[in-house]
Structure 1
């Protein structure tokens, strides 16, 4: 823990980054990004940082084998928990939160050696505006119910699957006749049954 505090103090006051702009990547929100930074082969600790306008932000530190040593609570959900081949993965880019310059620093014999800088720039994805539809056309490719020859009110559609009144009338009449036959047979059978019992 003392080494990390010493490293952070050194970073705040020294802030020696390699010269040159480094690599710049344009990234869309939600994409994952691999941040590459080859640490020194003799490093005992690799520290990942983000350069801010006022200083540097500590992301995480890893052992020379790529295992997570320490991180901030905010970076635990944002970055991968291991580093493979000098690559740290940002899981889901958010341009308001994650834009900036990233680099790693190797701790070799109590000296920090900074690696390559990667600058992430968020791009705004243009949302396509919906195309207006003509007033007499349906908005979908499905068959329109609005092209009937009969005059209908705007927005009114004819219900499908309903029977016409003639068919409904015939069905109701048939059901009524069956009900009447059921009542007559019940009364007749009841009379016959009671007269049978009297005998």
Structure 2
């Protein structure tokens, strides 16, 4: 099967897998480096890595052979990731707006997809503490610094779902449609081959 078809099929199946949520959550500092580990339950010649970002959608990262050879990768792979292996990828300099989301890998074993554990990367929120300016004390008293806890009056932010509800609904449908399309193509090729052999036998 063509590499592009395999990637599309894995993406569709990955959507169904991530609907149940991540196996592991990791909080990452802005600009920090983070290792993501993933190993499908069955070893195979090629493992493909994907991510589903909070701000956009699904992205193919890289496919790596068992010998560590990079078979295909995204164009900006070297800008975001360090050279990885089949079971580990490293985000060089984490950016919350660019890299927050779900990361995972998959292996195609025969006609079955095997997925490893999914990791969710979350950007750490910075604690915002500001100091109040010094005021001139009355009656020649010594000046004291007072700190202002500005987070005290802030309302807690509502928790946002990891993915939009529409994606969770449409992902299984898209996966099913993709599989039906693949079966239709295989059936059409098979039937054309049979009719060609039958015509040859008549001639």
TM-score range, shorter chain: 0.5 to 0.7
Scaled by the length of structure 2, what TM-score is found?
0.57
In the alignment, the residues of structure 1 paired with residue 108 and residue 10 of structure 2 have an alpha-carbon distance, to the nearest angstrom, of 12
Bigger-Rg structure (1/2): 1
* Residue 96 in structure 1 maps to residue 97 in structure 2: yes
* Distance in 1 between residues matched to 2:135 and 2:67, nearest whole Å: 63
2:125 corresponds to? 124
Please name the residue that 2:134 is paired with. Answer: 133
> How far, CA to CA, are the matches of 2:80 and 2:60 in structure 1?
13
Per the TM alignment, residue 94 of structure 1 is displaced from its structure 2 partner at its CA by 0.5
CA–CA distance in 2 between the matches of 1:130 and 1:68?
51
Closer/same/farther in 2, CA of residues 79 and 135 from structure 1, 3 Å limit: same
Residue 8 (structure 1) aligns with: 7
Structure 2 contact 40–117 (Cα < 8 Å) conserved = no
Change in 2 beyond 3 A, CA 1:12/1:103 = closer
Deviation at 1:109, TM superposition (A): 2.7
**Root-mean-square deviation over aligned CA pairs:** 2.8
Whole-angstrom distance in 1 between the partners of 2:69 and 2:132: 51
> What does residue 26 of structure 1 align with?
27
Secondary structure of 1:35 counterpart: strand
Structure with the greater relative contact order (CA < 8 A, sep ≥ 6): 1 or 2? 2
CA distance in 1, matches of 2:82, 2:90: 5
Please say if residues 60 and 71 of structure 1, whose CA atoms lie closer than 8 Å, have aligned partners that are also in contact.
Answer: yes
* Alignment size in residue pairs: 136
CA distance in 2, matches of 1:116, 1:12: 15
Instruction: Give the TM-score of the pair, scaled to structure 1.
Output: 0.58
Paired with 1:119 and 1:5, the residues of 2 have a C-alpha distance of 26
Cα offset for 1:75? 2.4
Q: Which structure dedicates a bigger proportion of its chain to helix?
A: 2
d(CA) in 2 for partners of 1:100 and 1:73? 19
Q: CA deviation at 1:11?
A: 2.6
Q: Report the Cα distance in structure 2 between the residues aligned to 1:66 and 1:125, rounded to whole angstroms.
A: 37
Aligned to 1:166: none
Mean alpha-carbon deviation: is it higher for 54-63 or for 12-21?
A: 12-21
The unaligned stretches of length 5 or more in structure 2 are: 144-203
Structure 1 stretches lacking a partner, 5+ long:
139-199
1:48 Cα deviation after fit: 0.6
